[in-house]
Structure 1
Amino acid sequence: MSNQSILRITRELSEIQRGPDLSIAVACRDIDVRHVRALIIGPPETPYEFGFFEFAVKFTKDYPTKAPSVTAITTNGGRTRFNPNIYAAGKVCLSILGTWRGERGEEWSSAQGLESILISIQSLMSSNPYENEPGFEDANSDYDKKNQGAYVDKIRHESLRVSVIERLEEYLGIHQERPSVTVYNAEEDYKSGGDDAPFEPFKDLCKRRFLWYYPSYLATIDEAAKQHKDGDRFEKMPFEGPGNTMEGCYQYSALRERLVKIFEKLNGEMTGWAIEGMTAVNKEMGIASNLQRQFEQIVENYKTNESVTLDLDLVDKNPFVWQLVLFGRPMTNLDGGMFRIMLYISPKFPDVLPRVKFATPLFHHRVSPDGILCYDAARKDDMRSHVEAIIAAVEEESPAYDPRTLVNPEAAKLFWGTADQKKMYNRRLRRSVQDSAENCC
Structure 2
Amino acid sequence: MNQSIIRLTREISELNKTSDLSIAVACRDADVRNVRAVILGPPDTPYEFGFFEFSMKFGRDYPAKAPAVIALSTNSGRTRFNPNIYAGGKVCLSILGTWRGERGEEWSSAQGLESILISIQSLMSSNPYENEPGFENANQEHDKENKKAYVLKIRHETLRITVIARLEEYLGINADGTLQPSPAPPDLESSEDGDTSLADLEGSILFEPFKDLCKRRFLWYYDSYMTSITAERPKVTDGQVFVRMPFEHSGNTMEGRFYYTELERRIKLVRERLDKETENWAAEGAIMAQRESGVAANLQRQYEQTVEYYKKSDSVTLDIELVDKNPFLWRVTYFGRPMTNLDGGLFNIEIAFSPRFPIEHPRARFRTPFYHYRVTSDGVPCYTVTKTDEGRAHIDAIIHLMEEENGPYDPRTQVNQEASKLYWGTPEQKREYNRKLRRSVQASMDYA
TM-score above 0.5, yes or no: yes
1:165-180 matches, within 5 Å, as: 165-176=164-175
Q: Give, in angstroms, the shift of residue 259 of structure 1.
A: 0.5
- The 1:421–1:139 alpha-carbon spacing in structure 2 relative to 1, beyond 3 Å, is farther
1:395 partner amino acid: E
- 1:225 corresponds to which residue? 233
| Whole-angstrom distance in 2 between the partners of 1:20 and 1:137 | 37
Look up the equivalent residue of 1:37 and give its one-letter code. R
Partner residue in 2 for 1:327: 335
Per-residue CA deviations over 1:144-189 (Å, capped at 9, x if unaligned) read 11110110010000000000000000000001279xxxxxxxxxxx
5+ residue gaps, structure 1: 179-194
d(CA) in 2 for partners of 1:147, 1:224:
17
User: Helix, strand or coil: the match of 1:349?
Assistant: coil
TM-superposed deviation, 1:197: 4.3
Using a 3 Å threshold, how does the CA distance of structure 1 residues 124 and 137 change in structure 2: closer, same or farther?
farther
1:247 aligns with 2:255: yes
Question: Using a 3 Å threshold, how does the CA distance of structure 1 residues 436 and 146 change in structure 2: closer, same or farther?
Answer: same
1:186 matched to which residue of 2?
Answer: none
Structure 1 pair 304–60 and aligned structure 2 pair: CA distance change class (3 A): same
Select which of 258, 264, 272 maps to 1:264.
272
Q: TM-score, normalised by structure 1?
A: 0.94
Q: CA deviation at 1:382?
A: 1.1
Q: Could you say what secondary structure the match of 2:101 adopts?
A: coil
Partner of 1:161: 160
Q: Which of 247, 268, 288 is the aligned partner of 1:280? A: 288
Letter aligned with residue 424 of structure 1: E
CA deviation after TM superposition for structure 1 residue 394, in Å? 1.6
Question: How far apart are the structure 1 equivalents of 2:432 and 2:38?
Answer: 37
Give 3-state SS (helix, strand or coil) of 2:327's partner. strand
Structure 1 position 293 matched with structure 2 position 301? yes
- The 5-angstrom pairing of residues 422-437 of structure 1 reads 422-437=430-445
Q: Any residues of structure 2 matched to 1:8-23 within 5 Å, and which?
A: 8-23=7-22
8 Å CA contact retained: 1:66, 1:108: yes
- Identity rate, percent: 64
Asked whether the equivalents of residues 81 and 244 of structure 1 are also in contact (C-alpha less than 8 Å), the reply is yes
Amino acid at match of 2:225: Y
TM alignment of 1:303-314, pairs within 5 A: 303-314=311-322
2: CA distance between counterparts of 1:226 and 1:332?
43
Q: 1:139, 1:390 → 2: CA distance? A: 51
1:364 is the counterpart of 2:391: no
Distance 2:411 2:437 in 1: 19
Contact 1:131–1:138 under 8 Å retained in 2: no
* Aligned with residue 418 of structure 1, among 414, 426, 430: 426
CA shift in 2, pair 1:433/1:197, >3 Å: closer
Query: Who is 1:107 aligned against?
Result: 106
Aligned to 1:75: 74
Q: What residue in structure 2 maps to residue 390 of structure 1?
A: 398
**Displacement, 1:103?**
1.1
- Asked if the contact 2:226–2:264 (Cα under 8 Å) also holds between the matched residues in 1, the reply is yes
Q: Tell me the residue number matched to 1:192.
A: none
Contact preservation (8 Å) 1:328, 1:336: yes
Counterpart of 2:345 in structure 1: which amino acid? G
Deviations 1:25-56 (A, max 9, x none): 00001111010100000000000000000000
Q: Which residue is equivalent to 1:120?
A: 119
Is the contact between residue 228 and residue 250 of structure 1 (CA under 8 Å) also seen in structure 2?
yes
1:26 aligned onto 2:25: yes
Deviation at 1:85, TM superposition (A): 0.3
Deviation at 1:137, TM superposition (A): 3.9
Quick check: 2:175–2:266 contact (8 Å CA) kept in 1? no
Kept in 2, the 8 Å contact 1:85–1:124? The answer is: yes
Q: In the alignment, what sits opposite 2:212? A: 204
Residues 130 and 148, structure 1, Cα contact 8 Å, conserved in 2: yes
Partner Cα separation in structure 1 for residue 86 and residue 140 of structure 2: 26
3-state SS in 1 of match to 2:235:
coil
Distance 1:14 1:138 in 2: 43
Counterpart Cα distance in 1 of 2:421 and 2:116: 32
C-alpha displacement of 1:141: 2.2
Structure 1 CA distance for aligned equivalents of residues 311 and 204 of structure 2: 49
CA displacement at 1:276 relative to structure 2 = 0.4
- Change in 2 beyond 3 A, CA 1:271/1:137: farther
Cα deviations across residues 321-357 of structure 1 (Å, max 9, x unaligned)? 0000111111222111110001000010111001100
Task: Report the 3-state secondary structure (helix = DSSP H, G, I; strand = E; otherwise coil) of the residue aligned with 1:316.
Answer: helix
CA deviation string 1:288-346 (max 9, x = no partner): 01001001111101111111010100000000000001111112221111100010000
Query: For structure 1, which segment, 135-144 or 2-11, has the greater mean C-alpha deviation from structure 2 after superposition?
Result: 135-144
What is the Cα deviation at residue 20 of structure 1? 1.6
Q: CA deviation at 1:406?
A: 1.1
Mapping for residues 22-101 of structure 1, pairs under 5 Å: 22-101=21-100
Cα gap change, 1:381 to 1:145, in 2 (>3 Å): same
Shift, 1:421, TM fit: 1.2
Q: Does the 8 Å CA contact 1:131/1:139 hold for their aligned counterparts?
A: no
Tell me by how many angstroms 1:405 deviates: 0.8
Counterpart of 1:226 in 2: which secondary structure?
A: helix
**Distance in 2 (alpha carbons) for counterparts of 1:87 and 1:7:** 31
CA contact (8 A) 1:95 1:102 kept: yes
The answer to whether the Cα contact below 8 Å between 1:233 and 1:250 also exists between their aligned partners in 2 is yes
- Whole-angstrom CA distance in 2 between matches of 1:293 and 1:220: 43
What CA distance in whole angstroms lies between the structure 2 residues aligned with 1:258 and 1:162? 12
Query: After the TM superposition, which segments of 4 or more aligned residues of structure 1 sit over 2 Å from their partners?
Result: 137-142
- Displacement after TM superposition at 1:196 (Å): 8.4
